[in-house]
Chain A
Amino acid sequence: MSNQSSVDLARKLLAEAMRVELKDIANEASIETTLNWDSLVHAQLMVAIEDHLGRELTSDEVLSVESLQDVAKLLS
């Protein structure tokens, strides 16, 4: 389970990639349900995650990201 700080950070990175406000990112945000989570946003988000972690993501990690909660898990 991701802790709240990881969720908050995930929300911040996703909001920055989508160029929207934090309040516009729901806890349940996912690729399937979030219209503006497109391929360009996704690429920017993945780079932001890697920048935060200071390393490249593995293939399994890249494939795991489909929702805000998935991002939070990577960041926790």
Chain B
Amino acid sequence: MSGFRKNRPVDISSARFRLRSLERTDASARWSAWASDPDVMGPLNLVPTPLSVPGMQQYIAEHDNESAYLVGIFLRSTGAHIGLYNIDCDLMHMVANFSLMIGDKAHWGHGVVNETRAALLDHFFDYRKMEKATGTPNARNFSAILNYKAQGWKLEGILRQQVKSVTGSHRLDQLQFGMLPADWRALKQGTSA
């Protein structure tokens, strides 16, 4: 792969999925349905809200493919769009913060997250030259927590009552998981960093 250039969209593949930066034409009723589904949005501590096509296009446009990426997850077999990653990069400190949503519930529990995130970790460490990756699920996002642990991310801390719950007046803890390039390479090689 050639050297890193600014503002270059992501377009990579794993065994089952294509991961590419979303474009205006990816705004769809399918995506809007995910955003209004309590099952999808609840674990993310987001209020289910249908999105308009112009609203989705505006959201896509806010991601510059330099400090902010909105990467769609597409089935290689059919091209269907099933979810997305939001990856915010602190270019001063070279830290990439990952968050994601698998909108198509038919694909929950089938290893989508860790397969796609492995490809993205490779890409952001090796190509975008990030020096650390983080993930910050809230403590009620049980599936996300399991996935971070299963993939070998290190729990770096519990931020107590860090965020307001959208379902009530209480506050939620937020967990911080981290991955360093050396950790990731060691995990892939089956050794400890």
What residues make up the interface of A, taking CB atoms closer than 8 Å to B?
31, 38-43, 46-47, 56, 59-60, 62-63, 66
Within 8 Å CB of B140, what residues of A?
56
Report yes or no: A39 in contact with B173, Cβ–Cβ below 8 A. no
Interface string of B146-178 (1 = CB under 8 A from A): 110110000100100000000000000101000
Can you identify 25 A-B contacts, CB atoms within 8 angstroms?
Answer: A31-B149, A31-B150, A38-B110, A38-B146, A39-B108, A39-B113, A39-B142, A39-B144, A39-B146, A39-B147, A40-B109, A40-B143, A41-B109, A42-B143, A43-B43, A43-B142, A43-B146, A46-B142, A47-B142, A59-B139, A60-B158, A62-B142, A63-B155, A63-B175, A66-B149
Assembled-state Cα–Cα distance A59/B140 (Å): 8
Assembled-state Cα–Cα distance A3/B175 (Å): 31
Assembled-state Cα–Cα distance A59/B142 (Å): 10
Closest chain A residue to B144 by CB distance? A39
Report yes or no: A59 in contact with B158, Cβ–Cβ below 8 A. yes
Report yes or no: B145 in contact with A38, Cβ–Cβ below 8 A. no
In the A-B complex, the 3 residue pairs with the smallest Cβ-Cβ separation, listed nearest first, are A40-B109, A39-B143, A38-B109
Assembled-state Cα–Cα distance A59/B109 (Å): 22
Closest chain A residue to B146 by CB distance? A42
Assembled-state Cα–Cα distance A38/B175 (Å): 20
Instruction: Apart from A39-B113, A43-B142, A63-B175, list 8 A-B contacts with CB within 8 A.
Output: A31-B146, A39-B144, A41-B109, A43-B146, A56-B140, A59-B139, A59-B158, A63-B145
A-B contact count, CB below 8 Å?
A: 42
Within 8 Å CB of A47, what residues of B?
142
Assembled-state Cα–Cα distance A33/B35 (Å): 34
What residues make up the interface of B, taking CB atoms closer than 8 Å to A?
43, 108-111, 113, 139-140, 142-147, 149-150, 155, 158, 173, 175
Report yes or no: A38 in contact with B111, Cβ–Cβ below 8 A. yes
Assembled-state Cα–Cα distance A41/B175 (Å): 21
Assembled-state Cα–Cα distance A47/B42 (Å): 13
Closest chain A residue to B172 by CB distance? A59
Within 8 Å CB of A62, what residues of B?
139, 142, 145
Assembled-state Cα–Cα distance A39/B105 (Å): 12
Known: A59-B173, A63-B155. A39 touches B149 (CB 8 A): no
Known: A38-B109, A39-B109, A39-B113. A59 touches B143 (CB 8 A): no
